[in-house]
Amino acid sequence: MKQNHWKERIGIMYSTNPDFEYETNQVEEEETLPKEKQSLRISLDKRNRGGKSVTLITGFRGKQDSLDEIGKWLKTKCGVGGAVKNGEILIQGDFRQKVLELLQKEGYIKSRII
């Protein structure tokens, strides 16, 4: 939940109009696509990770809560740690094939390894 800090509103003129609504620069999250329409890409990534490899899942379109839920589910099924950030799911280790099978069983039929 974002806090409403006064420093973010410096330079804003307020209106005496009772119907005035303050506009923020926040972008609304897009609706989550159905599982069968999601085109998830699974890859192995070693860049900027201290030589360790991670399974990277990208291409998810939808709300952050849905992405967090999928990330938690995959980490539990693989029995490893990971993270969900910047619209990507990171699973520690090389679990490309297992993640692909899990996602396809769950209904993400357009998932593929790249």
Q: Is residue 43 part of a domain?
A: yes
> Is 20 part of a structural domain of the chain?
no
Indicate whether 93 belongs to any domain. Answer: yes
Q: Which long-range contacts (CB under 8 A, 24 or more apart) does 102-110 make?
A: 102/74, 102/77, 102/78, 103/40, 103/42, 103/57, 103/74, 106/35, 107/35, 107/36, 108/35, 108/36, 108/38, 108/40, 109/35, 109/36, 110/36, 110/37, 110/38, 110/39, 110/40
**4-36 pLDDT per residue, tens:** 666 666 666 666 777 767 666 666 667 888 888
Q: 99 lies in a domain?
A: yes
Q: Tell me whether residue 2 is in a domain.
A: no
Is the whole model's pTM more than 0.95, yes or no? no
pLDDT digits (tens, 9 = 90+) for 96-113: 999 999 999 999 888 899
The boundaries of the domain holding residue 100 are 29-113
Examine residue 12 and state whether it is found in any structural domain, yes or no: no
Predicted local confidence at residue 12, as pLDDT: 61
